[in-house]
Structure 1
Amino acid sequence: MNDPDREKETHPLSGVMEFWENVMADMEATAAEYREAGWTVTELHPGDVTPVPARVDTVETGRVGLDVLVPGDEFDAVEDVVGRAAFDAYDAYRAERGDVVFAVVVMQAEDAGEAVAVPVYYTKKEASPMLERVDEDGEMRLYVRPLSGDRRVVFVQSDPEALLPVDDGGDEDA
Structure 2
Amino acid sequence: MNEDQAGDAPSNVQAQSGWQAVIDDMAVTADEYRDRGWTALELHPGDSVLVDSEMRTGLDVVLPGPEYEDLESLIEDCTFADVDVFRAPGDSMIYLLVVEKDLDSKTAVLVPAYYDAGSGQETLETIRSNGELRLFCRRLNDDYVEFVHGDVEPFLPSPLQGE
TM-score range, shorter chain: 0.7 to 0.9
- Secondary structure of 1:143's aligned partner: strand
Following superposition, the deviation at residue 129 of structure 1 comes to 2.1
Tell me the equivalent position of 2:62.
Answer: 69
- Structure 1 CA distance for aligned equivalents of residues 96 and 78 of structure 2: 23
Tell me the equivalent position of 2:3.
Answer: none
Partner of residue 102 from structure 1, selected from 78, 95, 105: 95
Tell me the equivalent position of 2:111.
Answer: 118
Cα deviation per residue 1:111-160 (whole Å; 9 max; x = unaligned)? 111110000000012221221111111110110111222x1100112212
- Structure 2 CA distance for aligned equivalents of residues 113 and 28 of structure 1: 17
Cα deviation per residue 1:51-88 (whole Å; 9 max; x = unaligned)? 011xxxxxx32522111101000000000001111110
Following superposition, the deviation at residue 9 of structure 1 comes to 8.7
Residue 19 in structure 1 maps to residue 12 in structure 2: no
Moved more, 97-106 or 140-149: 140-149
Q: Give the root-mean-square deviation of aligned CA atoms.
A: 2.0
- Structure 1 CA distance for aligned equivalents of residues 92 and 37 of structure 2: 36
Tell me the equivalent position of 2:153.
Answer: 161
Following superposition, the deviation at residue 36 of structure 1 comes to 1.3
- How many equivalent pairs are there? 156
Gaps of 5+ in 1: 1-7, 54-59
- Structure 2 CA distance for aligned equivalents of residues 39 and 158 of structure 1: 25
Identity of aligned residues (%): 37
- Structure 2 CA distance for aligned equivalents of residues 118 and 24 of structure 1: 9
1:1-174 to 2 correspondence within 5 Å? Answer: 10-11=10-11, 13=13, 17-53=16-52, 60-149=53-142, 151-167=143-159, 171=162
- Structure 2 CA distance for aligned equivalents of residues 108 and 130 of structure 1: 26
Q: Which amino acid aligns with 2:58?
A: G
TM normalised by structure 2 equals 0.88
